[in-house]
Amino acid sequence: MASSYTKLSPIIDILVPFLLLVFITLYPFTSTAATTTNTTTKSAEEFYKFSRIRAHLKKLNKPYLKTIQSPDGDIIDCVPSHLQPAFDHPKLKGQKPLDPPERPKGHYNSTTTDHVLNENIQQWRVSGESCPEGTIPIRRTTEEDILRASSIRRFGRKTVSRVRRDSTASGHEHAVGYVMGEQYYGAKAGLNVWAPRMASSSEFSLSQIWVISGSFGDDLNTIEAGWQISPQLYGDNSPRFFTYWTTDAYQATGCYNLLCSGFVQTNNEIAIGAAISPTSTYKGHQFDISLLVWKDPKHGHWWLEFGSGLLVGYWPWWLFSHLAKHASMVQFGGEIVNSGSSGMHTATQMGSGHFSGEGFARASYFRNLEVVDWDNSLIPLNNLRLLADHPNCYDIRGGYNRPWGHYFYYGGPGRNVRCP
């Protein structure tokens, strides 16, 4: 059954403002007339706004074969894979998802002694419902989702800011490990999932892998995947699996998840943008996921794997300029937005909300950090660097051992006596 939305003729968008202009010109501006005109103008603006929202929803919410109601309120539509948003792209029209590529060689076993993993790693799977073969699960976008955004044009996109690895003034704060200086063809890590507290609905907290190329200017290319809490994007405080990409430093290209054409999903078990469950608990069980991004040496596309062998899909190589060839930098770690709206540093937490020094089952971590080399092999990192731009608010400390390879703990509470 296909989604149904009211069809509005494009002529209405032109006709309504024109008729209003005629009305204002013909009638005198008495106080009553002015009030009526203002009300009419406002009504027309609202009508125009909601007609645009409905058109955008129709573009995003594709015809589906089955709908699943998630316990957290999400609606998951099982959309035929060839109808997903990616295939709205001119270069993909009429195509179908590709078959899985060869995985990188020599990867770590992603089990751990305190690791909880089963097929129900997202809320919408708790009921046992699943999407049929030949479809992909897509979180349905609602009118409320779009209304929370700053504009329809910016919906599903990160705020544009001066993006730098060492940014200190953009409102984006990081605690990351990174490598640079070589040619990278992917990255892999295990990380535990938390539900950090948010101080403002306009802020977010995330933990992710960045695969980066280009300069930290207008030509920045990134591929990103991880978990995030973003009340403005999702309308709640649940940690959600997400992806992102851009080829121009977040200005006009790219988006979260499947909110624009680009990423091609191939998996019917994972819904990008859906809540992850369970999460880690302080001094308790740690819920740990693995993420792998790598460049298929045969076709050149960037593939994403989530968990134990679940191929989610791929970013076509031609979406990018610099990343069409390889990455020049890989980052792992946490990021928050500090809006500064209260005049003080935000109390939005990163990771578990606890500093790195507290260690296992208390602080958040990344472990088994690896990169993919030119030979499609996973290899340990060389020269891992650690950076926390606001160490009194969120910090990071790393190490190496046999079971975890290269790892680090990171995060923090945000505002505290040392972070006013």
Query: Which residues carry out catalysis?
Result: 224, 335
Q: What is the C-alpha separation between 326 and 323, in angstroms, rounded?
A: 5
Contacts from 312-315 at CB under 8 Å and sequence distance 24+?
Answer: 312/243, 312/265, 312/266, 312/267, 312/270, 312/272, 313/97, 313/263, 313/264, 313/265, 313/266, 313/267, 314/98, 314/263, 314/264, 314/266, 315/223, 315/245, 315/262, 315/263, 315/264
Q: What is the C-alpha separation between 31 and 304, in angstroms, rounded?
A: 61
The 10 Å CB-count burial string (b at 16+, else e) for 330-360 is bbbbbbbbbeeeeeebbbbbbbbbbbbebee
Retrieve residue 84's tokens. 């997903």
Phi, psi of 318, deg, nearest 5: -75, 0
Sequence-separated (6 or more) residues with CB below 8 Å from residue 38: none
Q: What is the C-alpha separation between 70 and 52, in angstroms, rounded?
A: 27
In this structure, what DSSP letter does residue 336 have? E
- In this structure, is the dihedral angle defined by the CA atoms of residues 316, 317, 318 and 320, taken in order, positive or negative? positive
Please answer whether residues 191 and 363 qualify as being in contact, where contact means their C-beta atoms are separated by less than 8 angstroms: no
Give the SS3 label for residue 137. Answer: strand
Nearest to 352 by CA among 228, 190, 196: 196
Nearest to 267 by CA among 97, 58, 77: 97
Query: For residue 118, how many C-alpha atoms fall within 13 Å in the half-sphere facing its CB?
Result: 8
Phi, psi of 20, deg, nearest 5: -65, -40
Q: What is the largest CA-CA distance in the chain?
A: 82
Please answer whether residues 135 and 82 qualify as being in contact, where contact means their C-beta atoms are separated by less than 8 angstroms: no
